[in-house]
Structure 1
Amino acid sequence: MLTKESYQLPIAQPLTEAYMKQSDDRIAALYGYYSGSRQDWERRLLALEERSALRADKSKLAEVLRAYNGRLGASNEVMASIDRIAQGAPVVIGGQQAGLLTGPLLVIHKAVSIIQAAKSAAEQLGRDVVPVFWIAGEDHDWDEANHAYVVTAEQELRKLAVTRPEGPRASVSATRIESEAWDGLLRELDEALPSSEFKPSVLEKLSELSSRSGSLSDLFAGLLGYLFGSEGLVLIDADDRSLRELESPMFRTLLLRNDELEKAYAATAAHIQSFGYSLQAEVTPGSANLFLFHPERGGERTLLYKNETGFQDRRGHSMWSKEELLHIAEQQPELLSNNVLSRPIMQDYLFPVLGTVLGPGEIAYWALTGEAFRKLDMEMPILVPRMSYTLIEGTIAKNMTKYELELADVLERMEARKEAWLKQQDSLNVEQRFGAVKAAFQEMYQPLIDLAASVQAGLAKLGETNMAKIMEQIDYLEAKTTDANHKQFDAALRQLDRIATAIAPLGKPQERVLSMVIYWNRYGDAWLQKLLEAPYSRTGGHETVHL
């Protein structure tokens, strides 16, 4: 069996790595709190209690949450969680754009991390802490949300996708999906997934959920509710109209104090760059960091920019005075939407956020928001790095042991290890013997070229061209011989390819590509329970989970 090994996925963001490892004292001012400090969790709880009057009404928030989760058929555990929010319980929150069939596995990892962080905090603080998943349904990046990768019965990676209907670039939650599109997706999924004892129930559940889903966000929420309802995970879609009504006062504040906030973002960006770190989110001069669902363009999500008299779209084709937008914020808040820099503030206004679970890129761009929080007499919550997991099935683990592969080999150097293994099997020494012949040929042929050149200088080039053609033919024969020799190892190569597809599909970590449906189909609910029982750390990290 493959032994348990310690492996950390590379962190692409140096700023995030510095936060997680606390390796740079200069960045403490950017973040304030640190998820690995027990004292910081206690300090943050006290700060939440002191600033409770600055947040949205908790009773009204609970009403919105009950209505939204009730439409999803929420479990008793979820409704009990909402009751705790109504009574003032703090939350651990995290979110993601709605993805097809929940998108890549990292979304599941984030939900698990939210639940585990809430449990960990509750145990330390001796009080209820509620897990909340924020569905970023207001986002409009359809190509990021519309697909899922599964592994077929032939062990091949297959991409399933839903085509965006014709029309304006509205939010994902506002983009309607007809039943025919869901039916086509489920037929394609049925063809792709291998047969298993759980497959009929998986397809039945997906059929049931899709039949009452008008958007990708609806199906996304339905699946998360089904998977994590027993854990009391509360769901909310940022594009929910009732939630937008609660956001109205903060939208007004974001508009009224937009210039101050812009300066705050810019000043923090300059600090980050002065420390030698790059920016993960763009701080654009003149950007209001708010979107408007353009009422005259069918609800197209339009980024707002400031001008001399108010606000406009990017190209200046549409303009609004500050008074017009303040009126919209008060009377039609559903037309406004946050961007990556204003969303953290809005989230903290709505919820008593003890900690927010974030991926590496998010931790890097949240660093930009600290001064903006302070401008509004708020403060950034504790940033909790989400956990990463690699799921390893029994057959994959067995084959990794057979070929003496560690997780790092598969994730970092799989092709090199495959080539090295093939060379070890080459008892005919094809590469060495062809190499010897090529060296001997060059040694014998070069004097002939020199002889020809001594007779007529122009013959040197002809001789070199001739030698190159002969060498090319020897290389061709070597490649054909190598391929023929490798064919006897086809079964082994297929096993190696299956390992790569399962753990590093498309050359990326499993969590960034594969859909959870693969494991749901093979193991029912057991795979998810393994994740929920895996070791957890508030400072993030990576765990291998054997299925």
Structure 2
Amino acid sequence: MELFEPFIAPASGLMNDYIMHDRKLLKYFEYKPEISSLKNRYERTVSRHPADRPRLARIIGSYMERFGDSPAAREALEHFSEGAPLVVTGQQAGLFTGPLYTVHKAISAIVLADKASAELDRIVVPLFWVAGEDHDIAEIAHVYRQTDRRVDKMNFPHMEYGKRSASAARLNKQKIGSHMEAYFKSLPETEHSKELFETIRQLFDRANTFTDFFSAFLHWLFKDSGLLFIDAADPALRAYEAEFFAVLIDRSAEIAEAVCSTEQTLRQDGYPTSLDANPESANLFLAVGSERMLLERDGDRFVCGNKIYTKEELLQLLADNPELFSNNVVTRPLMQDMVFPVLSYIGGPGEIAYWAELKSAFEVMGLEMPVVMPRLNMTLVSRRVGFLLEKHSMEPAAAIGHNEAGNRREELLEAARETEAEQLLASLEQELTSRYEDVREKFSSVSKGLLPAVDKNLSIHLDQLTYLKRKLQEEVELQHDVQLSQFRTIEQELLPDGNPQERIYSPVPYLNQYGPDLIGDMLKMPFNYDRNHKIICL
């Protein structure tokens, strides 16, 4: 396993400005995204955080123990109880952890916690916040897999869940299990397959909900790393959060106004906005029956579906049933900061885009935004693709950052084109179309009712020419199939359908190929926590 750390510019202009410390964007954040900011954050805020650490440690420990013992996690939890600050990241509860970037987030948190420990000369603990309160099951109930010449999206059954949160959506063991078996069968059999698939089946069989399965999978991958995790929808955590929900309800109008104002300023500065802020939103959700519904304000009242509450009624409902309340994308970061001593939050490009809208909301709550660090962007290069890159004298950074394989493929196709044959077909098509205009005119003088037959006949001939063009192209590609196939293989692994690998593929194919020790081996890599891309040649 080998690590390369070249700079590859982000696709997002906002993200590029953020990692390059552009002043125009940094004014929307409290700190620069660099390790040297962590000490100031700790001394100014985190060291005095009023968290009830013993109670939170019990909540986290109680949640994690259902997924099995982990001496490393127990030690991390003890450090937290004794005053260690946290590096926090999080993600929705995707099947098999969702895309690779979920694993990369967890690795980023572990790496940054280690770097922060050295910077602060005190232990810092990583925490993964599982977004079990999220109700977009369609977004988490699928995987992508490589087929011979394309990337295939495999949807798992999810329509029955409606707007239930991931922590309330009970797994349909029969339907999802059969799809899981089909997914396993689509992967190549290796020396690791039998044990890997059996382990995943056991995790699945013991899980009740999407969140259970996600957390069990995450625990299995990182049990030796000291990574802590908690479900945002855990009832014990929700009870702890009740007093903070009360403040969020009380200041909901100010929070909404602050976010709307910041969103407008961001647009004026030329940045896209992602929250689509609503000045009437309470930025909270309420569980109504089996569904999670948005809470909105109407003057002094709060509206949720067809139910209307006064502030006093809503606060009483909170006191009686705190588990009914949950955060949205605006209030989740605020809640995290009120509950935990967050030294830094690690987010992807989409998250950092919406964090840019939240600084004033933090200020409304009397909070300071933590150091927002980009997650480490990673690409895994299999041995097969590594061989092909070397064979074609192609740098991994060029293949990832500039789609060099795709460019080479297009150049090869252009050079191999049968231009004379193509021109002959184009000329024939033009002549045929012209002659049929004469036929149309003649037939029209007999009867306009004949025109549909003429047009259909022309269409049949043109379809045949299109068929010939396609067959010509197929033959050209067939004659250069070896090289074209190799370029496609590189593209399909590193930039599937033009997307970053970490946004598409699950970790399962890589665990299948390289074994469950892959994550531990990655954690041993000497990562720098910087703006550079991490290319890991397996």
Cα deviation digits, residues 159-192 of structure 1 (max 9, x gap): 3433126354110110001332343133213311
Tell whether 2:38 aligns with 1:41.
yes
Structure 1 residue corresponding to 2:496, chosen from 500, 505, 513:
505
Compute the RMSD of aligned alpha carbons. 3.1
CA contact (8 A) 1:399 1:495 kept: yes
SS at match of 1:356: strand
Structure-2 change in CA distance of 1:165 and 1:481 (3 Å): closer
C-alpha distance in 2 between matches for 1:350 and 1:344: 10
CA contact (8 A) 2:133 2:166 kept: yes
Q: Which moved more, 1:389-398 or 1:415-424?
A: 415-424
Residue in structure 2 matched with residue 70 of structure 1 by the alignment: 65
Q: Aligned letter for 1:328?
A: L
Tell whether 2:252 aligns with 1:258.
yes
Tell whether 2:331 aligns with 1:342.
yes
SS at match of 1:166: helix
C-alpha distance in 1 between matches for 2:80 and 2:136: 31
C-alpha distance in 2 between matches for 1:122 and 1:241: 31
Tell whether 2:2 aligns with 1:6.
no
Structure 2 residue corresponding to 1:312, chosen from 303, 311, 315:
303
Q: Aligned-pair distance for 1:124?
A: 1.2
Structure-2 change in CA distance of 1:530 and 1:45 (3 Å): same
C-alpha distance in 1 between matches for 2:66 and 2:427: 78
Structure 1 residue corresponding to 2:137, chosen from 127, 135, 142:
142
C-alpha distance in 2 between matches for 1:135 and 1:90: 18
CA contact (8 A) 1:109 1:386 kept: yes
CA contact (8 A) 1:165 1:175 kept: no
Cα deviation digits, residues 188-224 of structure 1 (max 9, x gap): 1331111100001101111111111011111111111
Q: Aligned-pair distance for 1:275?
A: 2.0
Structure-2 change in CA distance of 1:476 and 1:220 (3 Å): closer
C-alpha distance in 1 between matches for 2:211 and 2:311: 32
Cα deviation digits, residues 478-503 of structure 1 (max 9, x gap): 55344324323334433332222211
Structure-2 change in CA distance of 1:232 and 1:439 (3 Å): closer
C-alpha distance in 2 between matches for 1:439 and 1:284: 54
SS at match of 1:208: helix
Residue in structure 2 matched with residue 519 of structure 1 by the alignment: 510
Residue in structure 2 matched with residue 430 of structure 1 by the alignment: 418
User: What is the TM-score of this pair, normalised by structure 2?
Assistant: 0.88
Structure-2 change in CA distance of 1:286 and 1:230 (3 Å): same
- 5 Å-filtered alignment, 1:20-31, equals 20-23=19-22, 25-31=23-29
Q: Aligned-pair distance for 1:530?
A: 4.2
* Aligned residue pair count: 517
CA contact (8 A) 1:384 1:538 kept: no
SS at match of 2:533: strand
Gaps (5+ residues) in structure 2? 439-454
SS at match of 2:160: coil
Structure-2 change in CA distance of 1:318 and 1:483 (3 Å): same
- 5 Å-filtered alignment, 1:85-104, equals 85-104=80-99
C-alpha distance in 2 between matches for 1:344 and 1:422: 49
Residue in structure 2 matched with residue 15 of structure 1 by the alignment: 14
Cα deviation digits, residues 307-343 of structure 1 (max 9, x gap): 13410036xx221111121112222110000001100
Tell whether 2:221 aligns with 1:224.
no
Q: Aligned-pair distance for 1:362?
A: 0.8
C-alpha distance in 2 between matches for 1:442 and 1:305: 61
SS at match of 1:273: helix
Q: Aligned-pair distance for 1:127?
A: 0.6
Q: Which moved more, 1:483-492 or 1:298-307?
A: 483-492
Structure-2 change in CA distance of 1:540 and 1:247 (3 Å): farther
Residue in structure 2 matched with residue 161 of structure 1 by the alignment: 155
Q: Aligned-pair distance for 1:157?
A: 3.7
Residue in structure 2 matched with residue 124 of structure 1 by the alignment: 119
Q: Aligned-pair distance for 1:62?
A: 0.5
Q: Aligned letter for 1:308?
A: G
Structure 1 residue corresponding to 2:175, chosen from 181, 186, 200:
181
Structure-2 change in CA distance of 1:200 and 1:86 (3 Å): same
Q: Aligned-pair distance for 1:46?
A: 0.9
C-alpha distance in 2 between matches for 1:195 and 1:435: 44
C-alpha distance in 2 between matches for 1:266 and 1:483: 54
Q: Which moved more, 1:191-200 or 1:495-504?
A: 495-504
Tell whether 2:389 aligns with 1:400.
yes
Tell whether 2:273 aligns with 1:279.
yes
Structure-2 change in CA distance of 1:309 and 1:419 (3 Å): closer
Q: Aligned letter for 2:144?
A: Y
Structure-2 change in CA distance of 1:324 and 1:120 (3 Å): same
Residue in structure 1 matched with residue 379 of structure 2 by the alignment: 390
C-alpha distance in 2 between matches for 1:286 and 1:272: 20
CA contact (8 A) 1:74 1:225 kept: no
User: What is the TM-score of this pair, normalised by structure 1?
Assistant: 0.86
Q: Aligned-pair distance for 1:283?
A: 1.1
CA contact (8 A) 1:534 1:543 kept: no
Cα deviation digits, residues 232-273 of structure 1 (max 9, x gap): 000100011111001001000001122222222223223322
Q: Aligned-pair distance for 1:299?
A: 2.8
Q: Aligned-pair distance for 1:382?
A: 0.3
SS at match of 2:337: helix
Percentage of pairs with the same residue: 33
